[in-house]
Amino acid sequence: MNKPKSELSETKAEYIEHIFEFRIPKGQKSERLDQYITRMVQNATRTKVQKAIDDGRVTVNGIVAKSSRKTHPLDHIVCRILKPPPMQLIPQDIPIKVVYEDEYLMVVNKPAGMVVHPGFGNRYGTMVNAILYYLGKREAISIELDDEDEEDDLDEETRIMISDEVRPGIVHRIDKDTSGLLLVAKDPVTHAKLAAQFAKHTIDREYWAICWGKYSESEGTYTGDIGRSPNNRKMFAVVRKGGKHARTDYFVQESFDYHSLVKYKLHTGRTHQIRVHSSHNRHPILGDELYGGNKIVYGGEFPSYRNKSMELLKIATHQMLHARTLGFTHPATNEKIQLSSELPDDFLNCLELLRK
């Protein structure tokens, strides 16, 4: 049953405390406390154990202990680890804009600010909640996830996305604050075939963005392996080691004094790919708080343009990035489907201001 909005106002899940107790036997070799607990607690990750220790939820012989403490024979260890409850997907009557639909799949135009997949920090109000309701689901769907590191939201989303219990199957991601076209499969066979097209990079995807700065060339290609930023786990970066190959073509559509309207074509699908490549090449996307686009990057030394830039940033409360076109081969008919969507109002308002 669809819960009342009052019951859905709190999106954060209440974590459940799990208590683990250990007594170090005689003759046990000494080791670091965090290493011992990670080894002894099934499916525990070092990150989760470290957080429990940092939060003061681990005691040795009744005294709060540090990670570096060495274990000794007859030590009594009590570890309290917080785990989230099972995930529940609640169908919600949230309006969505359907661009294309048949018995096999649908394409929706996601607004900026809407999360695609539910997570332990965003259980309600997501695109999945809305689509479940749109397709006639009314009962909650429970998902038992493997006990992995819930600190990693991206890994968590992946596990939710591929769960057998989750139908419809959203085939790919769009960042919360990015708008645009999203492809949804209605059955497992269609999902698998569409996912294969993404894996083979045969899906046509074009994004439009307003970026800081003028480009020296009207078109080009960004390359650079993308991986986790060593400085901020919520960010990604172009890295020398440990990243994944990424390629983005760019085409300048319109130039302004200190901004550009740019079309991007994705050849790979790395997390935050366009945002990372653009920022790395000193053209962060207007309004992108995570990658430096929510402040004046160019033109701030001129009062008139500084004032215009401040007006732009008032409009651009999120990154001005829109998944405008989507092309794919229909899994059932082999027909080539090519779809496009209009730029959202805030994006158009920024363009109007830039063109004055």
Active site residues: 175
Helix (H) or strand (E) holding 277: helix 273-280
Q: Which residues contact 85 (CB under 8 A, 6 or more apart)?
A: 13, 14, 15, 16
**Which letter, b or e, does each residue of 68-90 get, where b requires 16 or more Cβ atoms within 10 Å of its Cβ?**
ebebeeebebebebeebeebebb
Query: Rounded to the nearest 10 degrees, how much is the dihedral formed by the CA atoms of 49, 54, 58, 60?
Result: 120
C-alpha–C-alpha distance, residues 34 and 49, integer Å? 6
Amino acid at 120: F
For residues 143 and 166, the answer to whether their CB atoms sit within 8 Å is yes
Alpha carbon distances (Å) from 303 to 253, 258, 309: 26, 13, 10
Spell out where the chain has E strands. Answer: 16-23, 58-60, 63-64, 76-83, 87-89, 97-101, 105-110, 141-143, 169-170, 179-185, 204-212, 219-223, 226-228, 236-238, 247-255, 259-266, 321-329, 336-340
Structure tokens at 205: 């995807």
